Amino acid sequence: MIHYIYILQCADESLYTGYTTDIKKRLEEHNGIGDTKSAKSAGAKYTRPRRPVQMVYNESYNTRSEALQREYAIKQLTRAEKLLLTQTKKPTTSMAKGQDRKKEVKKPKKDKVVK
Protein backbone atom coordinates (compact mmCIF):
# COMPACT_ATOMS: atom_id res chain seq x y z
CA MET A 1 0.00 0.00 0.00
CA ILE A 2 1.27 3.46 -0.90
CA HIS A 3 0.92 6.27 1.65
CA TYR A 4 0.66 9.89 0.52
CA ILE A 5 1.08 13.31 2.04
CA TYR A 6 -0.36 16.24 0.13
CA ILE A 7 -0.78 20.00 0.19
CA LEU A 8 -4.06 21.56 -0.91
CA GLN A 9 -4.65 25.16 -1.84
CA CYS A 10 -8.08 26.30 -0.72
CA ALA A 11 -10.36 28.84 -2.39
CA ASP A 12 -9.25 31.46 0.15
CA GLU A 13 -5.57 30.79 -0.84
CA SER A 14 -4.81 29.05 2.47
CA LEU A 15 -2.84 25.80 2.47
CA TYR A 16 -3.83 22.48 4.03
CA THR A 17 -1.51 19.49 4.54
CA GLY A 18 -2.84 15.97 4.99
CA TYR A 19 -2.25 12.22 4.73
CA THR A 20 -4.11 9.52 2.79
CA THR A 21 -3.77 6.16 1.08
CA ASP A 22 -6.13 7.09 -1.79
CA ILE A 23 -5.23 10.50 -3.12
CA LYS A 24 -8.01 10.79 -5.74
CA LYS A 25 -10.75 9.78 -3.30
CA ARG A 26 -9.41 12.13 -0.62
CA LEU A 27 -9.42 15.11 -2.97
CA GLU A 28 -13.02 14.33 -3.93
CA GLU A 29 -13.92 14.15 -0.22
CA HIS A 30 -12.28 17.52 0.43
CA ASN A 31 -14.32 19.01 -2.43
CA GLY A 32 -17.57 17.33 -1.31
CA ILE A 33 -18.01 15.54 -4.63
CA GLY A 34 -20.93 13.12 -4.61
CA ASP A 35 -24.71 13.22 -4.38
CA THR A 36 -25.08 11.85 -0.88
CA LYS A 37 -25.32 13.90 2.27
CA SER A 38 -22.23 12.17 3.65
CA ALA A 39 -20.20 13.09 0.54
CA LYS A 40 -21.05 16.75 0.97
CA SER A 41 -20.00 16.67 4.63
CA ALA A 42 -16.81 14.66 3.97
CA GLY A 43 -13.34 16.16 4.03
CA ALA A 44 -11.53 17.93 6.79
CA LYS A 45 -13.38 20.41 8.97
CA TYR A 46 -10.83 23.03 7.89
CA THR A 47 -11.40 22.61 4.14
CA ARG A 48 -15.21 22.28 4.07
CA PRO A 49 -15.93 26.03 4.20
CA ARG A 50 -12.95 26.76 1.92
CA ARG A 51 -14.05 24.80 -1.15
CA PRO A 52 -13.11 24.25 -3.87
CA VAL A 53 -9.63 23.01 -3.08
CA GLN A 54 -6.94 21.89 -5.48
CA MET A 55 -3.97 19.63 -4.87
CA VAL A 56 -0.74 21.53 -5.43
CA TYR A 57 1.79 19.00 -4.11
CA ASN A 58 2.12 15.38 -3.03
CA GLU A 59 4.71 12.80 -2.04
CA SER A 60 4.42 9.03 -1.70
CA TYR A 61 5.95 6.65 0.84
CA ASN A 62 6.08 2.92 1.54
CA THR A 63 5.05 3.14 5.18
CA ARG A 64 2.45 5.07 7.14
CA SER A 65 5.11 6.04 9.66
CA GLU A 66 7.31 7.69 7.02
CA ALA A 67 4.36 9.56 5.54
CA LEU A 68 3.11 10.82 8.90
CA GLN A 69 6.60 11.97 9.89
CA ARG A 70 6.84 13.93 6.64
CA GLU A 71 3.34 15.36 7.13
CA TYR A 72 4.38 16.60 10.56
CA ALA A 73 7.58 18.13 9.16
CA ILE A 74 5.65 19.97 6.44
CA LYS A 75 3.12 21.27 8.97
CA GLN A 76 6.03 22.86 10.86
CA LEU A 77 7.05 24.89 7.79
CA THR A 78 6.05 28.51 7.31
CA ARG A 79 3.58 29.40 4.57
CA ALA A 80 6.43 30.77 2.45
CA GLU A 81 8.39 27.53 2.83
CA LYS A 82 5.33 25.47 1.87
CA LEU A 83 4.76 27.62 -1.22
CA LEU A 84 8.39 27.14 -2.19
CA LEU A 85 7.99 23.38 -1.74
CA THR A 86 4.92 23.35 -4.01
CA GLN A 87 6.96 25.05 -6.74
CA THR A 88 9.76 22.48 -6.68
CA LYS A 89 9.89 19.46 -8.90
CA LYS A 90 7.54 16.84 -7.54
CA PRO A 91 9.22 13.66 -6.22
CA THR A 92 9.27 10.63 -8.48
CA THR A 93 7.39 7.45 -7.71
CA SER A 94 10.72 5.80 -6.96
CA MET A 95 10.35 7.26 -3.47
CA ALA A 96 7.51 4.82 -2.92
CA LYS A 97 9.62 1.88 -3.97
CA GLY A 98 11.86 1.86 -0.94
CA GLN A 99 14.74 3.88 -2.29
CA ASP A 100 16.70 5.88 0.21
CA ARG A 101 15.49 9.48 0.50
CA LYS A 102 18.71 10.76 2.01
CA LYS A 103 20.89 12.66 -0.38
CA GLU A 104 24.51 11.74 -0.47
CA VAL A 105 26.74 14.54 0.66
CA LYS A 106 29.97 14.54 -1.26
CA LYS A 107 33.00 15.73 0.61
CA PRO A 108 34.98 18.37 -1.23
CA LYS A 109 38.24 17.18 -2.66
CA LYS A 110 41.31 18.56 -0.99
CA ASP A 111 43.59 20.47 -3.26
CA LYS A 112 47.04 19.02 -3.52
CA VAL A 113 49.75 21.42 -2.59
CA VAL A 114 52.58 21.35 -5.10
CA LYS A 115 55.96 22.42 -3.77
Domain boundaries, the chain: 3-96
Q: What's the pLDDT at 15?
A: 98
Q: What's the pLDDT at 88?
A: 86
- The one-letter amino acid code at 54 reads Q
Q: What is the pLDDT of residues 27-60, one digit of tens each?
A: 999 999 877 777 777 888 999 999 999 999 999 9
The number of beta carbons lying within 10 Å of the beta carbon of residue 83 is 15
> Which residues lie closer than 8 Å to 3 by C-beta, 6 or more apart?
19, 20, 21, 60, 61, 62, 63, 64, 66, 67
Residue 50 is classified by DSSP as G
Q: What's the pLDDT at 40?
A: 77
Q: What's the pLDDT at 90?
A: 61
CATH class of 3-96: alpha beta
Q: What's the pLDDT at 96?
A: 37
Instruction: Give the global pTM.
Output: 0.75
Q: What is the pLDDT of residues 59-115, one digit of tens each?
A: 999 999 999 999 999 999 999 999 999 998 664 433 333 333 333 334 445 555 555
The enclosing H or E element of 51 equals: none
